[in-house]
Structure 1
Amino acid sequence: RPSLEEIRCWGKSFDKLMKSPAGRKVFREFLRCEYSEENMLFWLACEELKKEANPDLIEEKARFIYEDYISILSPKEVSLDSRVREVVNHNMVSPTPHTFDEAQLQIYTLMHRDSYPRFVNSPLYKQIAQLNNNSESGSDTALDTRASSHSKLPS
């Protein structure tokens, strides 16, 4: 379970939030409620692609990412400008682990500028910080419970 200090760092640094698995989980739950979870899913898929070394799997994963998040036919399409779309389309001719780097950066920046300020001011973030501050038990489920049921919490 993250410490109160770590949770407070999430409120000060988007980079620290995104580097923390627990932070990403809570932020993803927030994005789901804002109907923009696809941004986090795309970012995570790109991170996984970067770890892949097998050329056949790189191509397969790149195609899945393209179909799931870049294609205008996808219900989970992420919002990219036309220049970045062109770069991705060009890169898809011969996919590498870095095919989506520019798109990933654009979505990271979008989450940082758009969703992150709302997250930091959300009841979800504030409740989690209070929960950790007041909790003396060693329960690992407190964060999970709060994240998955925050829509039921009073504002």
Structure 2
Amino acid sequence: MRRRLSHVDSKTPSPCEGSPTSPSCKRGSIPCCFCWCCCCSCSCLTVRNKEKEVCSRRASNLSTLESLQRNEESGRLTLEEASSWALSFNTLLDNPTGRDVFMEFLRSEHSDENMLFWQACKELKAEQRKAAIAEKTKQIYLDYISILSPKEVSIDATVRDTINSNMAMPTADIFDEAQAQIYALMHRDSYPRFLNSAIYQSLLQSLNAGNASQS
């Protein structure tokens, strides 16, 4: 019996045998199945893709934290200033650095189009020239209102219909209802998560540690 088993083992080809062009063979790793040509459809690649996605997100968060630390070290941000962002959503939005940090958080959640749309509407309302209003209105519509846009914001169908009907003669306040809805969405959903996020909490800890080292 031992002889038969030994004989069979010696004749069993290795996973990479006969397939010198296999990517797994070139890497020197063992594929997850006996047929190297089927490995492309195996679940192991799904796992690898997920691992790459996690690594990419970690790198993005690290880059964000490094950027925030540079702001802190340059003296442009204080603990009191950063702590005030928790007082109200308006306090956060009224602060240029606060908006930048909040934007980084939204980007990590893949919802930064909300902040971009809100800011674009704010800039539009400050515009006085009719030609510029028409141009900016068209661009905002294409970027955030059109259902074909990858950055489309989530607004009510009635509000979208009103915007569509007013696009022939746009004004600076054409997006007011949509902007109010997006503001409410960020205030209700994104803002509480931001206050508990690693980005904001790490920033507060870093600023607090900096104050402690100076005292």
Q: TM over 0.5: same fold?
A: yes
Output aligned runs, 1:141-152, within 5 Å: none
Aligned equivalent of 2:128: 53
1:76 aligns with 2:151: yes
- Superposed CA deviations along residues 82-102 of structure 1, whole A, max 9, x for unmatched, are 121122223322111111111
What is the rounded CA distance, in whole Å, between the counterparts of 2:100 and 2:90 in structure 1? 14
Deviation at 1:8, TM superposition (A): 1.2
1:86 maps to what in 2?
161
1:11 aligns with: 86
Aligned to 2:17: none
Deviation at 1:40, TM superposition (A): 0.5
Q: Give the deviation of 1:2 after TM superposition.
A: 2.9
Q: Within 5 Å, which residues of 2 pair with 1:53-132?
A: 53-132=128-207
User: AA paired with 1:32?
Assistant: R
Q: CA separation in 2, counterparts of 1:114 and 1:78?
A: 14
User: Cα RMSD between the aligned structures?
Assistant: 1.1
Distance 2:100 2:132 in 1: 26
Distance 1:15 1:107 in 2: 14
Unaligned runs of 5+ in 2: 1-75
Residue type at the aligned position of 1:5: E
Structure whose CA Rg is larger:
2
1:10-45 per-residue CA deviation (whole Å, 9 max, x = no partner) reads 122111001111001000000001000000010111
Alpha-carbon distance between aligned partners in 2 of 1:127 and 1:106, rounded to the nearest angstrom: 30
TM-score for both structures, normalised by structure 2: 0.61
TM-score, normalising length from structure 1? 0.84
Q: Which has the higher contact order (CA 8 A, sep 6+)?
A: 1
- Structure 1: give runs of 5+ residues left out of the alignment: 137-155
